[in-house]
Amino acid sequence: MDRRRLLQAIGGTALASLSGISAQAGGTDPSVSGWQNWSKSLPGAAGKVEKPTNMVALKALVSGAEGGVRPVGAGHSWMPLVPSQDTIVSLDHFNAVREVDTTANTAWIGAGGRLHDVSPELAKHGLAFRNLGDIDVQSLAGATSTATHGTGRNLSCLSAEILGLRLLTGDGEELEISAAQNPALLPAASVALGSLGVLTEMKMQLVPSYKLHRRVWFMPHDQVMAQADDLWAKHRNFEFMYIPFSGISMCIAHDETQAADTPRAADESDDGVKQLKALRDYLSWFPALRKRLLALAISGAPEENVVGESWNLLSSERNVLFNEMEYHLPAAVGLEALEEVRAYIEKNRADVFFPFEARMTQGDENWLSPFHDGRKISIAVHCYHQDDYAFLFSDIEPIFRKYGGRPHWGKLNSLTAADFDALYPQWQAFAALRQRLDPQGRFLNPYLRALFAPTT
Protein backbone atom coordinates (compact mmCIF):
# COMPACT_ATOMS: atom_id res chain seq x y z
CA MET A 1 0.00 0.00 0.00
CA ASP A 2 1.13 3.53 -0.57
CA ARG A 3 0.78 5.08 2.83
CA ARG A 4 1.81 8.57 1.79
CA ARG A 5 -1.76 9.80 1.99
CA LEU A 6 -2.02 8.47 5.47
CA LEU A 7 1.10 10.33 6.51
CA GLN A 8 -0.23 13.58 5.13
CA ALA A 9 -3.61 12.96 6.63
CA ILE A 10 -2.37 12.27 10.09
CA GLY A 11 -0.26 15.34 10.11
CA GLY A 12 3.41 15.37 9.34
CA THR A 13 6.33 13.79 11.08
CA ALA A 14 5.92 14.93 14.66
CA LEU A 15 4.28 11.73 15.78
CA ALA A 16 6.80 9.68 13.86
CA SER A 17 9.59 11.08 15.95
CA LEU A 18 7.77 9.85 19.03
CA SER A 19 7.12 6.43 17.65
CA GLY A 20 10.58 5.04 18.33
CA ILE A 21 10.83 3.06 15.13
CA SER A 22 12.93 3.61 12.11
CA ALA A 23 12.80 2.06 8.68
CA GLN A 24 15.15 -0.87 8.41
CA ALA A 25 16.61 -2.27 5.29
CA GLY A 26 15.04 -5.62 4.48
CA GLY A 27 16.71 -8.59 2.86
CA THR A 28 19.31 -11.02 3.99
CA ASP A 29 21.69 -10.44 6.85
CA PRO A 30 25.04 -12.01 6.10
CA SER A 31 26.18 -11.67 9.69
CA VAL A 32 23.67 -14.20 11.01
CA SER A 33 24.33 -17.77 9.87
CA GLY A 34 24.46 -16.77 6.23
CA TRP A 35 20.79 -16.22 5.63
CA GLN A 36 17.66 -14.76 7.21
CA ASN A 37 14.23 -13.93 5.95
CA TRP A 38 13.14 -10.32 5.48
CA SER A 39 11.47 -9.78 8.85
CA LYS A 40 14.10 -11.92 10.65
CA SER A 41 11.28 -14.01 12.07
CA LEU A 42 12.86 -17.33 11.10
CA PRO A 43 15.96 -18.73 12.77
CA GLY A 44 19.05 -18.10 10.64
CA ALA A 45 19.97 -21.05 8.45
CA ALA A 46 23.28 -22.73 9.08
CA GLY A 47 23.66 -23.74 5.44
CA LYS A 48 25.85 -21.81 3.06
CA VAL A 49 24.22 -19.61 0.40
CA GLU A 50 25.73 -20.50 -2.97
CA LYS A 51 25.30 -18.27 -6.04
CA PRO A 52 26.31 -20.23 -9.13
CA THR A 53 26.99 -18.03 -12.13
CA ASN A 54 26.05 -20.48 -14.89
CA MET A 55 24.33 -23.78 -15.60
CA VAL A 56 27.51 -25.85 -15.36
CA ALA A 57 28.20 -24.48 -11.89
CA LEU A 58 24.57 -24.96 -10.84
CA LYS A 59 24.55 -28.58 -12.01
CA ALA A 60 27.81 -29.29 -10.20
CA LEU A 61 26.44 -27.68 -7.08
CA VAL A 62 23.16 -29.60 -7.09
CA SER A 63 24.67 -32.98 -7.91
CA GLY A 64 27.67 -32.51 -5.61
CA ALA A 65 25.89 -31.03 -2.61
CA GLU A 66 25.92 -33.15 0.50
CA GLY A 67 22.46 -33.30 2.01
CA GLY A 68 19.60 -31.24 0.67
CA VAL A 69 19.38 -28.20 -1.58
CA ARG A 70 16.98 -25.35 -0.97
CA PRO A 71 16.46 -22.65 -3.61
CA VAL A 72 16.03 -19.12 -2.29
CA GLY A 73 14.77 -15.93 -3.93
CA ALA A 74 14.70 -12.64 -2.04
CA GLY A 75 13.90 -14.26 1.33
CA HIS A 76 10.56 -12.49 1.59
CA SER A 77 8.55 -15.45 2.90
CA TRP A 78 7.62 -15.90 6.55
CA MET A 79 7.11 -19.65 6.34
CA PRO A 80 10.24 -21.85 6.74
CA LEU A 81 10.35 -22.78 3.07
CA VAL A 82 14.05 -22.01 2.71
CA PRO A 83 15.98 -22.60 5.97
CA SER A 84 18.28 -25.56 5.69
CA GLN A 85 21.32 -26.99 7.44
CA ASP A 86 22.58 -28.01 4.00
CA THR A 87 22.95 -25.99 0.82
CA ILE A 88 20.88 -22.90 -0.03
CA VAL A 89 21.13 -21.90 -3.66
CA SER A 90 20.37 -18.42 -5.00
CA LEU A 91 19.72 -17.91 -8.70
CA ASP A 92 20.69 -14.23 -8.58
CA HIS A 93 22.90 -14.71 -11.66
CA PHE A 94 20.08 -16.34 -13.65
CA ASN A 95 18.25 -13.15 -14.49
CA ALA A 96 18.35 -12.64 -18.26
CA VAL A 97 15.30 -11.73 -20.35
CA ARG A 98 15.49 -13.81 -23.57
CA GLU A 99 13.47 -14.91 -26.58
CA VAL A 100 11.16 -11.92 -26.36
CA ASP A 101 8.13 -12.31 -28.62
CA THR A 102 6.32 -9.02 -29.04
CA THR A 103 3.56 -10.60 -31.11
CA ALA A 104 2.56 -13.20 -28.52
CA ASN A 105 3.73 -10.93 -25.65
CA THR A 106 5.94 -13.59 -24.10
CA ALA A 107 9.55 -13.93 -22.94
CA TRP A 108 11.79 -16.45 -21.18
CA ILE A 109 13.02 -14.83 -17.98
CA GLY A 110 15.78 -16.03 -15.65
CA ALA A 111 14.18 -17.50 -12.54
CA GLY A 112 16.35 -15.46 -10.19
CA GLY A 113 15.55 -12.11 -11.84
CA ARG A 114 14.12 -9.64 -9.34
CA LEU A 115 10.75 -8.32 -10.47
CA HIS A 116 11.90 -4.70 -10.08
CA ASP A 117 14.84 -5.38 -12.40
CA VAL A 118 12.86 -7.46 -14.87
CA SER A 119 10.10 -4.84 -15.34
CA PRO A 120 12.32 -2.09 -16.79
CA GLU A 121 14.00 -4.72 -18.96
CA LEU A 122 10.60 -5.79 -20.32
CA ALA A 123 9.65 -2.14 -20.84
CA LYS A 124 12.52 -1.83 -23.33
CA HIS A 125 10.58 -4.33 -25.47
CA GLY A 126 7.24 -2.61 -24.86
CA LEU A 127 6.08 -5.36 -22.48
CA ALA A 128 5.02 -5.57 -18.83
CA PHE A 129 3.70 -7.99 -16.25
CA ARG A 130 -0.10 -7.92 -16.26
CA ASN A 131 -0.14 -7.41 -12.52
CA LEU A 132 2.20 -7.09 -9.53
CA GLY A 133 1.85 -7.30 -5.76
CA ASP A 134 2.56 -4.68 -3.11
CA ILE A 135 6.31 -5.09 -3.54
CA ASP A 136 8.49 -6.10 -6.47
CA VAL A 137 11.77 -7.05 -4.84
CA GLN A 138 11.00 -10.79 -5.05
CA SER A 139 12.66 -13.07 -7.56
CA LEU A 140 10.42 -14.36 -10.33
CA ALA A 141 10.74 -17.98 -9.15
CA GLY A 142 10.29 -17.01 -5.49
CA ALA A 143 7.15 -15.01 -6.23
CA THR A 144 5.55 -17.62 -8.45
CA SER A 145 6.47 -20.58 -6.24
CA THR A 146 4.14 -19.26 -3.50
CA ALA A 147 1.42 -17.87 -5.83
CA THR A 148 2.22 -14.22 -5.14
CA HIS A 149 -0.69 -11.99 -6.15
CA GLY A 150 -1.72 -8.37 -6.47
CA THR A 151 -5.34 -7.31 -6.70
CA GLY A 152 -7.94 -7.16 -9.45
CA ARG A 153 -11.25 -8.89 -9.99
CA ASN A 154 -10.16 -10.17 -13.41
CA LEU A 155 -6.46 -10.51 -12.73
CA SER A 156 -4.82 -13.76 -11.68
CA CYS A 157 -1.78 -14.38 -9.52
CA LEU A 158 1.66 -14.29 -11.16
CA SER A 159 1.98 -18.11 -11.32
CA ALA A 160 -1.04 -18.31 -13.62
CA GLU A 161 0.98 -16.35 -16.21
CA ILE A 162 3.62 -19.11 -16.50
CA LEU A 163 3.64 -20.68 -19.97
CA GLY A 164 6.75 -22.77 -19.49
CA LEU A 165 9.58 -23.45 -17.09
CA ARG A 166 12.95 -25.11 -16.93
CA LEU A 167 13.84 -27.07 -13.85
CA LEU A 168 17.01 -28.76 -12.63
CA THR A 169 16.01 -31.96 -10.88
CA GLY A 170 17.88 -33.76 -8.10
CA ASP A 171 19.78 -36.03 -10.48
CA GLY A 172 21.04 -33.08 -12.52
CA GLU A 173 18.50 -33.48 -15.33
CA GLU A 174 17.25 -30.34 -17.07
CA LEU A 175 13.51 -30.74 -17.41
CA GLU A 176 11.44 -28.43 -19.61
CA ILE A 177 7.76 -28.14 -18.87
CA SER A 178 5.89 -26.14 -21.48
CA ALA A 179 3.30 -26.44 -24.25
CA ALA A 180 5.97 -28.26 -26.28
CA GLN A 181 7.35 -30.59 -23.60
CA ASN A 182 5.64 -32.29 -20.65
CA PRO A 183 2.64 -29.91 -20.81
CA ALA A 184 0.60 -31.99 -18.36
CA LEU A 185 3.06 -31.10 -15.59
CA LEU A 186 2.65 -27.33 -15.93
CA PRO A 187 -0.29 -26.94 -13.51
CA ALA A 188 1.69 -28.91 -10.91
CA ALA A 189 5.03 -27.19 -11.38
CA SER A 190 3.79 -23.59 -11.51
CA VAL A 191 3.24 -23.36 -7.73
CA ALA A 192 5.59 -25.85 -6.09
CA LEU A 193 7.37 -24.13 -3.15
CA GLY A 194 10.73 -25.04 -4.65
CA SER A 195 10.04 -28.69 -3.84
CA LEU A 196 10.42 -30.15 -7.34
CA GLY A 197 13.88 -28.81 -8.13
CA VAL A 198 15.66 -25.57 -8.99
CA LEU A 199 13.81 -23.39 -11.50
CA THR A 200 16.27 -21.76 -13.87
CA GLU A 201 14.08 -20.02 -16.46
CA MET A 202 10.42 -19.31 -16.96
CA LYS A 203 8.35 -18.37 -20.01
CA MET A 204 5.84 -15.73 -18.97
CA GLN A 205 2.68 -14.41 -20.55
CA LEU A 206 3.08 -10.65 -20.57
CA VAL A 207 1.04 -7.74 -21.91
CA PRO A 208 1.96 -4.64 -23.92
CA SER A 209 3.32 -1.88 -21.68
CA TYR A 210 0.55 0.14 -20.10
CA LYS A 211 0.16 3.19 -17.95
CA LEU A 212 -2.01 3.46 -14.87
CA HIS A 213 -3.84 6.20 -13.08
CA ARG A 214 -3.68 5.60 -9.34
CA ARG A 215 -6.33 7.13 -7.10
CA VAL A 216 -6.04 6.91 -3.31
CA TRP A 217 -8.83 8.14 -1.09
CA PHE A 218 -10.37 7.58 2.34
CA MET A 219 -13.94 6.48 3.01
CA PRO A 220 -15.96 5.47 6.07
CA HIS A 221 -15.40 1.73 6.36
CA ASP A 222 -19.11 0.84 6.30
CA GLN A 223 -19.44 2.63 2.94
CA VAL A 224 -16.45 0.73 1.57
CA MET A 225 -18.04 -2.54 2.67
CA ALA A 226 -21.31 -1.59 0.96
CA GLN A 227 -19.56 -0.59 -2.28
CA ALA A 228 -16.66 -3.06 -2.36
CA ASP A 229 -18.13 -5.39 -4.98
CA ASP A 230 -18.91 -2.43 -7.26
CA LEU A 231 -15.43 -0.97 -6.75
CA TRP A 232 -13.81 -4.31 -7.60
CA ALA A 233 -15.99 -4.52 -10.70
CA LYS A 234 -15.33 -0.91 -11.74
CA HIS A 235 -11.55 -0.70 -11.34
CA ARG A 236 -8.80 -2.74 -12.99
CA ASN A 237 -7.10 -2.99 -9.63
CA PHE A 238 -8.90 -2.19 -6.41
CA GLU A 239 -7.98 -2.85 -2.80
CA PHE A 240 -8.66 -1.28 0.54
CA MET A 241 -6.79 -1.02 3.78
CA TYR A 242 -8.88 -0.83 6.94
CA ILE A 243 -7.17 1.38 9.52
CA PRO A 244 -7.71 -0.36 12.86
CA PHE A 245 -9.65 1.57 15.51
CA SER A 246 -10.64 4.29 13.04
CA GLY A 247 -13.83 3.17 11.26
CA ILE A 248 -12.10 4.38 8.07
CA SER A 249 -10.57 2.58 5.12
CA MET A 250 -8.05 3.78 2.59
CA CYS A 251 -9.08 2.82 -0.96
CA ILE A 252 -6.55 2.33 -3.75
CA ALA A 253 -7.65 1.99 -7.38
CA HIS A 254 -5.59 1.67 -10.55
CA ASP A 255 -7.05 2.06 -14.04
CA GLU A 256 -5.42 2.12 -17.45
CA THR A 257 -4.89 5.55 -18.94
CA GLN A 258 -3.19 7.34 -21.81
CA ALA A 259 -2.77 10.54 -19.76
CA ALA A 260 0.62 12.18 -19.33
CA ASP A 261 2.78 11.03 -16.44
CA THR A 262 2.57 13.10 -13.29
CA PRO A 263 5.71 13.91 -11.30
CA ARG A 264 6.50 11.23 -8.74
CA ALA A 265 6.19 12.44 -5.18
CA ALA A 266 8.88 11.45 -2.70
CA ASP A 267 8.26 7.93 -1.41
CA GLU A 268 7.15 8.32 2.18
CA SER A 269 5.17 5.12 2.25
CA ASP A 270 6.53 3.94 5.59
CA ASP A 271 5.76 7.12 7.46
CA GLY A 272 2.02 6.52 7.75
CA VAL A 273 2.75 3.28 9.57
CA LYS A 274 4.96 5.15 12.02
CA GLN A 275 2.08 7.54 12.71
CA LEU A 276 -0.23 4.65 13.41
CA LYS A 277 2.29 3.08 15.75
CA ALA A 278 2.69 6.35 17.64
CA LEU A 279 -1.07 6.59 18.12
CA ARG A 280 -1.09 2.98 19.32
CA ASP A 281 1.80 3.60 21.73
CA TYR A 282 0.31 6.70 23.31
CA LEU A 283 -3.43 6.15 23.03
CA SER A 284 -4.15 2.40 23.12
CA TRP A 285 -5.45 2.91 26.68
CA PHE A 286 -8.04 5.38 25.30
CA PRO A 287 -9.57 3.88 22.14
CA ALA A 288 -12.25 6.56 21.79
CA LEU A 289 -9.61 9.30 21.62
CA ARG A 290 -7.46 7.20 19.27
CA LYS A 291 -10.45 6.80 16.96
CA ARG A 292 -11.40 10.49 17.17
CA LEU A 293 -7.86 11.66 16.39
CA LEU A 294 -7.58 9.29 13.46
CA ALA A 295 -10.94 10.33 12.05
CA LEU A 296 -10.19 14.03 12.56
CA ALA A 297 -6.83 13.80 10.84
CA ILE A 298 -8.08 11.76 7.91
CA SER A 299 -11.30 13.69 7.33
CA GLY A 300 -9.72 16.57 5.42
CA ALA A 301 -7.25 14.48 3.47
CA PRO A 302 -7.14 15.20 -0.26
CA GLU A 303 -7.18 12.41 -2.81
CA GLU A 304 -3.97 11.30 -4.42
CA ASN A 305 -4.01 11.06 -8.21
CA VAL A 306 -0.88 9.84 -9.98
CA VAL A 307 -0.15 8.63 -13.52
CA GLY A 308 2.83 6.48 -14.47
CA GLU A 309 4.08 3.18 -15.90
CA SER A 310 2.27 0.15 -14.43
CA TRP A 311 5.36 -1.31 -12.79
CA ASN A 312 6.21 2.02 -11.19
CA LEU A 313 2.81 2.35 -9.54
CA LEU A 314 1.59 -1.12 -8.59
CA SER A 315 4.40 -1.89 -6.15
CA SER A 316 6.13 0.18 -3.51
CA GLU A 317 8.71 -0.22 -0.76
CA ARG A 318 8.17 -1.79 2.65
CA ASN A 319 10.93 -0.79 5.00
CA VAL A 320 9.21 -1.10 8.37
CA LEU A 321 9.51 -4.77 9.25
CA PHE A 322 6.36 -6.74 10.05
CA ASN A 323 5.03 -10.28 10.26
CA GLU A 324 1.92 -11.17 8.31
CA MET A 325 -0.85 -13.73 8.02
CA GLU A 326 -2.91 -13.67 4.83
CA TYR A 327 -5.70 -16.04 3.90
CA HIS A 328 -7.43 -16.35 0.54
CA LEU A 329 -11.17 -16.75 1.10
CA PRO A 330 -14.04 -17.64 -1.22
CA ALA A 331 -15.16 -14.29 -2.67
CA ALA A 332 -18.71 -14.71 -1.34
CA VAL A 333 -17.56 -14.75 2.31
CA GLY A 334 -14.27 -12.84 2.29
CA LEU A 335 -15.70 -9.56 3.56
CA GLU A 336 -17.70 -11.34 6.26
CA ALA A 337 -14.45 -12.90 7.49
CA LEU A 338 -12.80 -9.46 7.46
CA GLU A 339 -15.57 -8.07 9.64
CA GLU A 340 -15.17 -10.88 12.15
CA VAL A 341 -11.41 -10.31 12.28
CA ARG A 342 -11.96 -6.57 12.66
CA ALA A 343 -14.46 -7.04 15.50
CA TYR A 344 -12.10 -9.43 17.30
CA ILE A 345 -9.08 -7.15 17.03
CA GLU A 346 -10.91 -3.97 17.98
CA LYS A 347 -12.30 -5.73 21.06
CA ASN A 348 -9.19 -7.60 22.15
CA ARG A 349 -5.99 -6.30 20.53
CA ALA A 350 -5.36 -2.60 21.06
CA ASP A 351 -1.73 -3.27 20.12
CA VAL A 352 -2.54 -3.82 16.43
CA PHE A 353 -1.93 -0.76 14.27
CA PHE A 354 -0.99 -1.95 10.76
CA PRO A 355 -3.98 -1.63 8.39
CA PHE A 356 -5.70 -4.85 7.33
CA GLU A 357 -5.50 -5.37 3.60
CA ALA A 358 -8.36 -6.66 1.40
CA ARG A 359 -7.62 -7.71 -2.20
CA MET A 360 -9.29 -9.81 -4.90
CA THR A 361 -7.73 -12.32 -7.32
CA GLN A 362 -9.19 -14.32 -10.18
CA GLY A 363 -9.19 -18.13 -10.03
CA ASP A 364 -6.76 -20.40 -11.91
CA GLU A 365 -6.06 -24.08 -12.55
CA ASN A 366 -2.70 -24.66 -10.89
CA TRP A 367 -2.82 -27.58 -8.46
CA LEU A 368 -1.39 -25.82 -5.41
CA SER A 369 -2.68 -22.36 -6.25
CA PRO A 370 -4.78 -21.01 -3.37
CA PHE A 371 -6.95 -19.56 -6.15
CA HIS A 372 -7.44 -23.02 -7.63
CA ASP A 373 -11.21 -23.20 -7.64
CA GLY A 374 -12.29 -19.65 -8.23
CA ARG A 375 -11.99 -16.00 -7.38
CA LYS A 376 -10.79 -15.19 -3.86
CA ILE A 377 -10.78 -12.24 -1.51
CA SER A 378 -7.49 -12.11 0.38
CA ILE A 379 -7.42 -10.64 3.87
CA ALA A 380 -4.07 -9.82 5.49
CA VAL A 381 -3.29 -8.90 9.10
CA HIS A 382 0.15 -7.50 9.88
CA CYS A 383 2.02 -7.15 13.18
CA TYR A 384 5.03 -4.94 13.84
CA HIS A 385 8.07 -7.22 13.86
CA GLN A 386 8.85 -6.58 17.54
CA ASP A 387 5.27 -7.27 18.63
CA ASP A 388 3.88 -10.61 19.72
CA TYR A 389 1.99 -12.26 16.86
CA ALA A 390 0.98 -15.55 18.52
CA PHE A 391 -2.64 -14.37 18.51
CA LEU A 392 -2.64 -14.61 14.71
CA PHE A 393 -2.48 -18.39 15.11
CA SER A 394 -4.72 -18.75 18.16
CA ASP A 395 -7.44 -16.20 17.37
CA ILE A 396 -7.31 -15.01 13.76
CA GLU A 397 -6.44 -18.17 11.84
CA PRO A 398 -9.49 -20.07 13.19
CA ILE A 399 -11.72 -17.30 11.79
CA PHE A 400 -10.11 -17.56 8.36
CA ARG A 401 -10.36 -21.36 8.47
CA LYS A 402 -14.03 -21.25 9.49
CA TYR A 403 -14.76 -19.37 6.26
CA GLY A 404 -12.95 -21.95 4.12
CA GLY A 405 -9.75 -19.95 3.62
CA ARG A 406 -6.45 -21.19 2.25
CA PRO A 407 -3.27 -19.52 3.56
CA HIS A 408 -0.78 -17.71 1.37
CA TRP A 409 2.08 -20.22 0.99
CA GLY A 410 4.71 -17.70 2.01
CA LYS A 411 2.85 -16.13 4.95
CA LEU A 412 2.23 -17.23 8.53
CA ASN A 413 0.04 -20.26 9.02
CA SER A 414 0.02 -23.39 11.15
CA LEU A 415 -1.51 -25.85 8.70
CA THR A 416 -0.32 -29.43 8.40
CA ALA A 417 -0.19 -31.91 5.51
CA ALA A 418 -3.61 -33.23 6.53
CA ASP A 419 -5.08 -29.72 6.47
CA PHE A 420 -3.67 -29.03 3.00
CA ASP A 421 -4.88 -32.41 1.79
CA ALA A 422 -8.41 -31.37 2.76
CA LEU A 423 -8.05 -27.95 1.08
CA TYR A 424 -6.43 -28.98 -2.22
CA PRO A 425 -8.08 -31.63 -4.44
CA GLN A 426 -4.73 -32.37 -6.14
CA TRP A 427 -2.64 -32.56 -2.97
CA GLN A 428 -1.97 -36.29 -3.18
CA ALA A 429 -1.25 -36.10 -6.91
CA PHE A 430 1.26 -33.32 -6.28
CA ALA A 431 2.97 -35.28 -3.48
CA ALA A 432 3.23 -38.32 -5.78
CA LEU A 433 4.72 -36.25 -8.61
CA ARG A 434 7.15 -34.64 -6.18
CA GLN A 435 8.26 -38.08 -4.98
CA ARG A 436 8.76 -39.19 -8.60
CA LEU A 437 10.91 -36.16 -9.51
CA ASP A 438 12.86 -36.10 -6.25
CA PRO A 439 12.90 -39.66 -4.84
CA GLN A 440 15.81 -38.91 -2.50
CA GLY A 441 14.04 -35.90 -0.99
CA ARG A 442 16.99 -33.67 -1.86
CA PHE A 443 14.77 -30.59 -2.15
CA LEU A 444 13.04 -31.05 1.20
CA ASN A 445 13.88 -29.23 4.41
CA PRO A 446 12.17 -30.15 7.69
CA TYR A 447 9.07 -28.04 6.98
CA LEU A 448 8.59 -29.37 3.44
CA ARG A 449 9.32 -32.94 4.55
CA ALA A 450 6.52 -32.66 7.11
CA LEU A 451 4.20 -31.52 4.31
CA PHE A 452 5.14 -33.86 1.50
CA ALA A 453 6.90 -36.86 2.99
CA PRO A 454 5.78 -37.05 6.62
CA THR A 455 6.69 -40.72 7.00
CA THR A 456 10.29 -40.57 5.73
Nearest to 103 by CA among 124, 125, 132, 118: 125
Contact with ligand FAD (CB under 6 A) among 152, 187, 194, 272: 194
CB of 282 to ligand FAD, least distance (A): 26
Contact 98, 108 (CB under 8 A): yes
Residues 108-167 close enough to bind ligand FAD by CB under 6 A: 111-112, 133-135, 138-139, 141-143, 145-146, 148-149
Of 44 and 287, nearer to ligand FAD (C-beta) is: 44
Residue 70 binds to ligand FAD (criterion: CB under 6 A): yes
Angstrom distance (rounded) from CA 103 to CA 111: 22
Nearest to 151 by CA among 233, 73, 224, 271: 233
Residue 412 binds to ligand FAD (criterion: CB under 6 A): no
Contact 116, 139 (CB under 8 A): no
Angstrom distance (rounded) from CA 158 to CA 131: 7
- Which stretch, 193-201, 231-239, 254-262, 426-434, contacts ligand FAD (CB under 6 A)? 193-201
Residue 379 binds to ligand FAD (criterion: CB under 6 A): no
Residue 83 binds to ligand FAD (criterion: CB under 6 A): no
Tell me which DSSP letter residue 179 carries. Answer: S
CB of 62 to ligand FAD, least distance (A): 11
Contact 138, 148 (CB under 8 A): yes
Across 3-66, where does the E strand assignment appear? 48-50
| Per-residue mark of binding to ligand FAD, 234-253 (x: CB under 6 A) | --------------------
Total residues interacting with ligand FAD, rule: CB under 6 A: 33
Q: Which residues does 246 contact at the CB level (< 8 Å), separation at least 6?
A: 221, 291, 294, 295, 298
| Per-residue mark of binding to ligand FAD, 299-328 (x: CB under 6 A) | -------------------x----------
Contact with ligand FAD (CB under 6 A) among 68, 75, 164, 308: 75
Residue 65 binds to ligand FAD (criterion: CB under 6 A): no
Angstrom distance (rounded) from CA 261 to CA 249: 27
Nearest to 379 by CA among 349, 408, 415: 408
Angstrom distance (rounded) from CA 95 to CA 399: 40
Residue 199 binds to ligand FAD (criterion: CB under 6 A): yes
Residue 74 binds to ligand FAD (criterion: CB under 6 A): yes
Angstrom distance (rounded) from CA 335 to CA 249: 13
- Which residues contact ligand FAD by CB under 6 A? 38, 70-77, 81-82, 91, 111-112, 133-135, 138-139, 141-143, 145-146, 148-149, 193-194, 198-199, 318, 408, 410
